[in-house]
Amino acid sequence: MVKGKEADVAQYCIKSLEAAKKELWDFVANLKPQMVRKVNELEKVRADLEIWKSRKALKYDIIVMNASLIISKVKQRWVSPLSGFKLNVDGSSILNLGPCGGGGVMRDRVGNLVYDYAISFREITNTVVEFLALLQGLKVCVGHSWFPLLVEVNSLVFCKWLCSTGEWRYINIWKEVLDICITRGIRITHIYRAGNNVTDCLAKLVSSLGHFEYWFLHQLREARAALRLDEMGQRQSFRSKPHLKKPSCKFKRPPLYASSDTSSSDTSQVSVLGVFQDEVGLEGKSGLPSRGGEPILVEPNALVVAKRPDAGGIEGCVISLIANHFLVQFDVSQRIFHYDVDIAPHPSKEIARMIKRKLVLDNQDILSGAHPAFDGRKNLFSSIEFQNDKLEFYVTLPIPIAKSVLSLGDANEMLGRKQENNKLFRVNIKLVSKLDGWESSKSGEDWVPFPQDYLHALDVVLRDSSAETCIPVGRSLYSSSMGGVQDIGGGAIGLRGYFQSLRRTQQGLALNVDFSVTAFHESIGLISYLQKRLGFLHDLPEMKTKGLTGEEKKEVEKALKNIRVFVSHRETEQRYRIFGITNEATENLWFRDRDGTNLKLVDYFKDHYNHDIQFRNLPCLQISRSKPCYLPMELCMVCEGQKFLGKLSDDQTSKLIKMGCQRPKERKAIINEVMRSSVGPTSGNHGKEFNLHISRNMTQLKGRVLQPPKLKLGNGGQVTDLIPFRQDRQWNLLHSHVFEGTRIERWALISFGGTPEQRSYLPRFINQLSQRCKQLGIFLNETPILSHQYESLQLLNNVSTLESKLKKVHTDASNNLQLLLCVMERKHKGYADLKRIAETNIGVVSQCCLYPKIAKLSSQFLANLSLKINAKVGGSTVALYNSFPSQIPRLFGSGETAIFLGADVTHPHPLDDSSPSVAAVVGSMNWPEANKYVSRMRSQAHRQEIIQDLGEMVRELLEEFNEEVNMLPKRILFFRDGISETQFYQVLKEELQAIKAACSTLPKYNPTITFAVVQKRHHTRLFPNETDPSFSGTRFCDENIPPGTVIDTVITHPREFDFYLCSHWGMKGTSRPTHYHILWDENKFTSDELQKLVHSLCYTFVRCTKPVSLVPPAYYAHLAAYRGRLYLDRSDSAGFAKKASTISRASPPLKPVPLPKLSESVKKLMFYC
């Protein structure tokens, strides 16, 4: 028994705890009366502990008690995603087979509510209703393109069902959910119920209501309170200090969209939280790397994108430039009202815009005289608030429909023969949010990003008028009025257009406008289309009685899949998507009508439409995913305005490039013309409506031209060092040797095809190639170890025979072949098998060339071929005379080694919905030269951009470096190619963590890492500034900017570390500078140091004697990933084609097909060059 002072202290503590506990619960109860009853016992105990700690801190440390801070510590809270969006879903069923309901809440990475829903369902189980609720949310996300997306559920049973493959009653729902998740790269994570309180409230409340209708969060008081608690707990994860200010109770519903451009998003500190979460994913694996079974977490301050270290670089000669960025000025006090639009029945984008135009024209009074902007889907933006927050309209619109034609000869005339049919649409408009731009000019800060929702609204406003008259494709718009239509053959046409995008820059908001060209399907009859598209069907009208072979059917299905068509035998506005073709010919097809009667297809069209099917031996189109639904080819027309998704032929590509290849002066004139044209971003009245002013003048800025580095060549030549001072920065090797030449004594030659005359060129070719190698300091034995092997080109069609032949050649060479030289009659798809067999099964590097090339030998061709051969067998072309330790001694001092890593991912063709993606990582293996790179390749999930096995590949490269240099690198410079700005945070979070995890597997190893993203697919173009007084004259006005031009001001990111570098000379068209964006920099580079390093590296590429446009580690990674793609192209294509022909849409395999293992003899060589 406690007595005296101890009893008094105990009694005092008890009363203090009770008072503090009451204070906390009163605070919570004011926000959500019923929340107290829902807190479980574990949270109560944790609450008591946190209250006791807070009271002690108040008593002894004079720290003010804060209820919000306590809640954030007590509650297993909801945590915002690091990038993109998070969807929380839950379902509830009373008695597990009674009235049920499900709900979902979508929030962005800062915790703003984006979308919410709750709906009642029929009497089903908890897990099934969770699937239905998730499916509803996923469909909304797909419709609004809310990606990347993370889904959280609090049911482990749900997760197990999702990962299972067993049969159950609701298999169709399971398949639909899984299909959306896999194709869109959506991750599903388990979270404890305490982190899913809002949706738990929604689901339970809606299930108790028992009505089959939608509810929203603002209608349900308890759900609002749960959301408020989440906000209070979430706020602490974004602040380094407790916020003592009383939280605001104002509820504001954020917008129903998110911009795809996050390159300049808020750079607030982002933490890896959620230590209570258990990520299961679709494969049941954790998404975090582990060490000893425990997850490795980045420190809370680890994921802040690197800030610019200084005011920009100063090295180099100053040059006056113009960039295709147009300054946008707007009134930040201008409020934009965002409305959600629901049109029934669901129309196409084109029809939706027509409905919007008529609605606005007929209802000016109700819309308060506004002329809103519409994105063609769901979002409407107005500068004036409508009279009511909810409006309903009925719009009757004359819809153009196809007029039926009865003969094939009239089919191609149908485009000009249209009728109109009145159709009624119901349009519901609902206010979603009121957007403000005030965040762009807060006082006391150097620069604050524009609100993302406001930026997206402005982007829709600027393209609204143009989208009504042009064909929108992504961020580009195309029109025949911008240069007409050009037939590029093969059923495709080329259209000119322009790209536009709003970007945050140092000068403020800017509109990036660029000239663009792309290919579209030609809108003609399907029979005529096939004649043009496929060479073996060029005489199709004359072969009506002939059917297609199995291989021909595959080619036809591949050519037609996913194309939209309309029919010519009846009047309709309906459009159909081709999902495949039938196995049977048209004359053999039967189907069952609504009465259950079996009808023959050709008889049906004769009886109902008085049309005799002429091409009876051709297959029909399959226009449904799940059930038989046939259309004869001759009655179909290709819809206009469809982007060509097939692979363009060499001739088509050449014509398209020629369309878009303009010299700088011409390209600049086209862009300026776009800004003044009636279809450009300044057309229409929206600028005046929304108080927008877009400058008609391009941005003027100053760049710098870096001096070329001094290069080191081989000792055997007359010239051992040089500085490329030519205008194009090229150098030749006429009187010099490569830096490191190799000796090739054992090699063989195989000829595939070729006429006797072409084969007679081989001795001369070998002799001149050997002489050219000798001039370059490379030894190539004039006599191959085996006599020439002459094979038919058809050998490349038979994989097993080709493999046997190559193995025999290698065996005859005593299994010691350094090089296999292959000369082909023409390009052949068997090239992929040749490379795969040689580099994986046999273990020999190969070099292929074509007979037409060796028939007209040139010194440049022979030199290029020699450089590639030398690099593949272990040599190098050039090295820096002043290595990096002498260029940047601050970082690369004595004993400070570094490795340059490059990474890229290649994805299958857009029409391929099942093949794996291929990731490649390369690493420099010598120091300080850093001009030899070893590669590692892996296949991974279909269209997965994040490199899944990055940690393993990096570890292998580090071990390889250790073997070559006898020490691990102290610094890692990682160049990542192929990712967009929307993926920066996700890549930084996962791939940086993978690199760190790989380093942690090596004993006592903790290098400093610089992580840079390399982007070539952007639309910033730079031109010489002719108006500048210092401009040298008209002679250079139509030339590209000089190699070495770097820009890190005005048009770059306001805060983050990025720059544009044009390291190459543009011989054709207009140069595109490469954009380097540094996401992470533990090496603390200055702008000058990193720019100089990247620029110098561009001179060390092994395949040419000029600087390249892309930093070599990223360039080599791209080549290696392409080589990995070749390994899969032939060996897997047959299987995927078969799978695609049996089902309407192939699902990606849960486990990708692994790449064949490289032979040890080529693993350390640059075989991919």
pLDDT at 276 over 60: no
What is the residue type of 79? Answer: V
pLDDT at 449 over 60: no
Name the more confident of 297 and 164. 164
Residue 925's pLDDT band, with cuts at 50, 70 and 90, is very high
Residues 222 and 268 in one domain: yes
pLDDT per residue over 1075-1115, tens digit each?
A: 999 999 999 999 999 999 999 999 999 999 999 999 999 99
What is the residue type of 241? Answer: K
- Cα–Cα distance list, 745 to 762, 781, 786 (Å): 18, 5, 11
Residue 1065's pLDDT band, with cuts at 50, 70 and 90, is very high
Residue 511 lies in a domain: no
Residue 894 lies in a domain: yes
Name the more confident of 462 and 120. 462
pLDDT at 439 over 90: no
Residues 278 and 393 in one domain: no
Name the more confident of 238 and 589. 589
Q: Tell me the β-bridge partners of 779.
A: 743
What's the longest Cα–Cα distance across the chain?
115
Q: Would you state the pLDDT for residue 413?
A: 41
Report, as an integer, the average pLDDT of 352-376: 92
Tell me whether residue 1131 is exposed, middle or buried, using C-beta atoms within 10 angstroms of its C-beta: 0 to 12, 13 to 18, 19 or more: middle
Residue 452's pLDDT band, with cuts at 50, 70 and 90, is confident
Q: Would you state the pLDDT for residue 1037?
A: 58
Q: Which helix (H) or strand (E) holds 1118?
A: helix 1112-1142
pLDDT per residue over 756-805, tens digit each?
A: 999 999 999 999 999 999 999 999 999 999 999 999 999 999 999 999 99
- DSSP for 501-527? EEEEETTEEEEEEEEEEEEEE--SBHH
Instruction: Please report, for the domain that includes residue 765, its CATH number.
Output: 3.40.50.2300
Residue at a domain's end among 820, 841, 872: 872
Residue 856 lies in a domain: yes
Q: How far apart are CA 84 and CA 110, in angstroms?
A: 10
Nearest CA to 94 among 208, 196, 193?
208
Residue 296 lies in a domain: no
pLDDT at 834 over 90: yes
Instruction: Please report, for the domain that includes residue 568, its CATH number.
Output: 2.170.260.10
Q: How many domains does the chain have?
A: 6
Residues 959 and 1087 in one domain: yes
Q: Would you state the pLDDT for residue 55?
A: 60
Q: How far apart are CA 792 and CA 305, in angstroms?
A: 56
Which of 153-157, 366-370, 974-978, 1052-1056 is predicted least confidently? 153-157
Q: Would you state the pLDDT for residue 883?
A: 93
32-41, 304-313, 540-549 — most confident range: 304-313
Nearest CA to 405 among 616, 636, 621, 631?
636
pLDDT at 857 over 70: yes
pLDDT over 70 percentage in the chain:
79
Q: Would you state the pLDDT for residue 975?
A: 98
Q: Would you state the pLDDT for residue 274?
A: 28
Cα four-point dihedral sign 837, 840, 845, 848: positive
Model confidence pTM above 0.85: no
Residue 722 lies in a domain: no
Residue at a domain's end among 839, 872, 905: 872
Contact (CB, 8 A) for 954 and 995 = yes
Q: Would you state the pLDDT for residue 441?
A: 41
Q: Would you state the pLDDT for residue 1137?
A: 40
Q: Side-chain half-sphere of 1033: how many Cα atoms within 13 Å?
A: 1
pLDDT at 963 over 50: yes
Residue 863 lies in a domain: yes
Q: Would you state the pLDDT for residue 910?
A: 82
pLDDT at 40 over 80: no
Q: Whole-number mean pLDDT of the chain? A: 82
Name the more confident of 831 and 146. 831
Which segments within 932-979 are labelled E, that is strand? 933-940, 971-977
Residues 383 and 342 in one domain: yes
Domain boundaries, position 577: 551-639
Residue 1094 lies in a domain: yes
pLDDT at 405 over 50: no
Residue 17's pLDDT band, with cuts at 50, 70 and 90, is confident
Alpha helix ranges (H) inside 575-685: 601-609, 650-660, 664-676
Residues 587 and 608 in one domain: yes
Report, as an integer, the average pLDDT of 251-262: 33
Instruction: Please report, for the domain that includes residue 164, its CATH number.
Output: 3.30.420.10
Q: Would you state the pLDDT for residue 865?
A: 97
Residue 269 lies in a domain: yes
Residue 1070 makes CB contacts below 8 A (sequence gap 6+) with: 662, 663, 664, 667, 1021, 1023, 1040
pLDDT at 384 over 70: yes
Residues 82 and 67 in one domain: no
Q: Which helix (H) or strand (E) holds 686?
A: helix 686-689
Tell me whether residue 159 is exposed, middle or buried, using C-beta atoms within 10 angstroms of its C-beta: 0 to 12, 13 to 18, 19 or more: buried
Residues 1121 and 991 in one domain: yes
Residues 406 and 440 in one domain: yes
pLDDT at 144 over 90: no
- Cα–Cα distance list, 992 to 237, 848, 897, 954, 1081 (Å): 21, 38, 20, 11, 11
pLDDT per residue over 726-756, tens digit each?
A: 999 999 888 899 999 999 999 999 999 999 9
Residues 902 and 837 in one domain: no
Q: Tell me the β-bridge partners of 426.
A: 344, 394
Residues 170 and 272 in one domain: yes
Residue at a domain's end among 264, 288, 312: 288
Q: How far apart are CA 609 and CA 601, in angstroms?
A: 12
Residues 128 and 219 in one domain: yes
Name the more confident of 949 and 410. 949
pLDDT at 70 over 70: no
Tell me whether residue 1044 is exposed, middle or buried, using C-beta atoms within 10 angstroms of its C-beta: 0 to 12, 13 to 18, 19 or more: buried
Which of 47-61, 186-200, 511-525, 677-691 is predicted least confidently? 47-61
Residues 87 and 60 in one domain: no
Which of 467-471, 901-905, 980-984, 1035-1039 is predicted least confidently? 1035-1039
pLDDT at 425 over 70: yes
Q: Would you state the pLDDT for residue 780?
A: 97
Q: Would you state the pLDDT for residue 96?
A: 63
152-156, 226-230, 441-445, 812-816 — most confident range: 812-816
Q: Would you state the pLDDT for residue 730?
A: 94
- Cα–Cα distance list, 790 to 746, 811, 1029 (Å): 18, 17, 65
Helix axes 221-235, 4-31, angle to 10 degrees: 120
Q: How far apart are CA 738 and CA 878, in angstroms?
A: 6
Q: Would you state the pLDDT for residue 110?
A: 73
Q: How far apart are CA 923 and CA 939, in angstroms?
A: 18
Nearest CA to 776 among 741, 803, 752?
741
